[in-house]
């Protein structure tokens, strides 16, 4: 990041959270289209889209060198089933049934990819009908399962990725996914995990996105406070069930073509349709620009858990700990792990500031190399954002009940270390 962009980021530092959460309707639903790779820098993306939390679409030129675009697609632009079967046929993949609603999502099963492709071929032959319903391969961790495959390279705009940096360090999980589905498959209305950013690249096919800026989803709740499963359902116009629907803005609509990348900002609810047989690669990610939104989301999630089991508050000795256990089972993270998440990222940034990495060392740590490539000022920016959220976490009454002084290092010591590192870097 150059110094001008960093200065811009600092100007946004104090009011970013309110700007992101209070996003209004975009003018006439406009979404910027980024055409040329050579004229669009990381600083441009940081300034114009990450900080203001606005969506955009990258042209197919940004993905034209990917192995998946060469190998996973036939000459006529269709999924290359033969190649996929040859290289991944034995993999077991998660498949959702788009025709069945189970709570607020679609039920999933795990089946071999070769079985799914057999189904998909038959589904096409029968004019996109099947007694099994419309099946959609979703959330396949292909990157983790087949790291040796030449599939894609994460564009530099998305490489400041705290979420995958942390889970890669733990070696347990990641938030990189492949989606494959026939024409007509779709994903119900939702916002992404931890209110993260996401990017989605079409390897082949076409998608339609319906996007709602943060807080617009509040107008779509029914009289019980529940969000809709399908924002296009006629029932939303019934004011006795959805009393505030008439106040909502129309969704921002994006038609995404083959090769294009859609950037979905933090906290934007969306619903997605495959208009053709489609394969896409998706990442969820958090960084210094939206980690405060993640923290706000986690506080809301804990409050919801506490409301649900409030009747046992006075009779359950470890009530606060049980709330954390339930929160982690529902959300995937609790306050102590969030502290560890911030600690790992902050320590990595201090490492960037303390060491000049040679090419050989950089090649061994892709996340550190990516951060180093973005520049020392970006590492300082990340540390400042980590300090801001850690300070808020340390002052949180629910966090104080978890005996934070037993953590290694204790929050006060970690904050002192981070602030000293920032001061030293800015000398």
- The DSSP code for 310 is G
Q: What is the spatial distance between Cα 393 and Cα 180, in angstroms, rounded to a whole number?
A: 39
The vertex-5 CA angle with 26 and 419, nearest 5°, equals 110
The vertex-21 CA angle with 17 and 25, nearest 5°, equals 135
Only one residue has tokens 């980024």, namely 34
Burial of 102 (0-12, 13-18, 19+ CB in 10 A): exposed
CA neighbor of 339 nearest in space, from 392, 382, 381, 384: 392
pLDDT tens per residue, range 224-260: 999 999 999 999 999 999 999 999 999 999 999 999 9
Q: Helix, strand, or coil here: 340?
A: helix
- Cβ–Cβ under 8 Å, residues 151 and 66: yes
Q: What is the spatial distance between Cα 17 and Cα 229, in angstroms, rounded to a whole number?
A: 27
Q: Over 63-130, what HEC string results?
A: CCCCHHHHHCECCCCCECHHHHHHHHCCCEEEEEECCCCECCECCEEEEEHHHHHHHHHHHHHCCCCC
Strand partners, 262: 57, 200
User: Residue 397's Cα: distance from chain center in Å?
Assistant: 28
Structure tokens at 317: 């000795």
Superfamily of domain 25-213+249-283: Cupin (2.60.120.650)
CB atoms within 10 A of CB 357: 17
CA neighbor of 266 nearest in space, from 298, 301, 299, 294: 294
In this prediction, residue 310 carries a pLDDT of 96
In this prediction, residue 1 carries a pLDDT of 45
| Half-sphere exposure of residue 393: CA atoms within 13 angstroms, side-chain side | 31
Q: What is the spatial distance between Cα 325 and Cα 305, in angstroms, rounded to a whole number?
A: 10
- The DSSP code for 48 is I
Chunked in runs of 10, what are the mean pLDDT values of the chain (427 residues)? Answer: 44 39 58 97 96 97 97 98 98 98 93 98 98 98 95 97 96 95 98 97 98 97 97 97 96 98 98 98 98 98 97 94 97 97 96 62 54 77 97 98 96 97 88
Q: Where are the domains of the chain?
A: 25-213+249-283, 290-426
The answer to pTM > 0.85 is yes
Q: What is the spatial distance between Cα 41 and Cα 29, in angstroms, rounded to a whole number?
A: 24
- Cβ–Cβ under 8 Å, residues 231 and 251: yes
Contacts of 81 (CB under 8 A, 6+ apart): 117, 120, 121
Structure tokens at 365: 């740590």
């Amino acid at each position: 990041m150059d110094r001008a962009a960093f200065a811009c980021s600092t100007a946004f530092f104090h009011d970013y959270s309110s700007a992101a959460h209070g996003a209004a309707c975009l003018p006439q639903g406009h979404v910027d289209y980024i055409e040329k790779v050579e004229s669009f820098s990381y600083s441009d993306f940081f300034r114009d889209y990450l900080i203001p939390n606005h969506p955009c679409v990258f042209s197919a030129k940004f993905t034209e060198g990917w192995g998946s675009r060469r190998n996973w697609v036939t000459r006529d632009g269709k999924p290359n089933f033969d190649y996929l079967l040859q290289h991944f046929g034995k993999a077991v993949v998660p498949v959702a049934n788009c025709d069945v609603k189970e709570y607020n999502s679609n039920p999933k099963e795990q089946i071999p990819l070769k079985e799914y492709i057999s189904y998909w071929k038959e589904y096409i032959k029968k004019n996109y009908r099947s007694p099994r319903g419309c099946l959609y391969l979703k959330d396949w961790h292909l990157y983790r399962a087949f790291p040796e495959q030449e599939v894609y390279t994460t564009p530099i705009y998305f490489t400041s990725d705290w979420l995958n940096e942390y889970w890669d360090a733990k070696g347990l999980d990641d938030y990189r996914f492949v989606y494959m589905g026939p024409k007509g498959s779709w994903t119900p209305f939702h916002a992404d995990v931890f209110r993260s950013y996401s990017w989605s690249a079409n390897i082949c096919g076409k998608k339609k996105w319906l996007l709602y800026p943060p807080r617009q989803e509040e107008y779509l709740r029914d009289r019980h406070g529940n969000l809709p499963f399908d924002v296009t359902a006629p029932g939303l116009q019934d004011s006795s069930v959805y009393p505030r629907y008439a106040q909502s803005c129309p969704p921002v609509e994006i038609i995404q073509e083959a090769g294009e990348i859609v950037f979905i900002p933090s906290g934007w609810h969306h619903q997605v349709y495959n208009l053709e047989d489609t394969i896409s690669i998706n990442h969820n990610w958090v960084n210094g620009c939206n980690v405060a939104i993640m923290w706000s989301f986690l506080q809301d999630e804990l409050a919801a858990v506490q409301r649900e089991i409030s009747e046992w508050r006075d009779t359950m000795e470890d009530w606060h700990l049980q709330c954390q256990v339930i929160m982690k089972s529902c959300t995937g993270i609790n306050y102590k792990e969030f502290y560890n998440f911030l600690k790992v990222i902050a320590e990595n940034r201090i490492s960037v500031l303390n060491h000049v990495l040679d090419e050989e060392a950089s090649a061994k740590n892709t996340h550190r190399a990516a951060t180093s490539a973005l520049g020392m000022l970006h590492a300082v920016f990340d540390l400042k954002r980590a300090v801001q959220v850690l300070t808020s976490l340390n002052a949180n009454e629910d966090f104080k009940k978890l005996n934070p002084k037993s953590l290694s290092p204790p929050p006060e010591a970690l904050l002192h270390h981070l602030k000293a590192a920032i001061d030293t870097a800015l000398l």
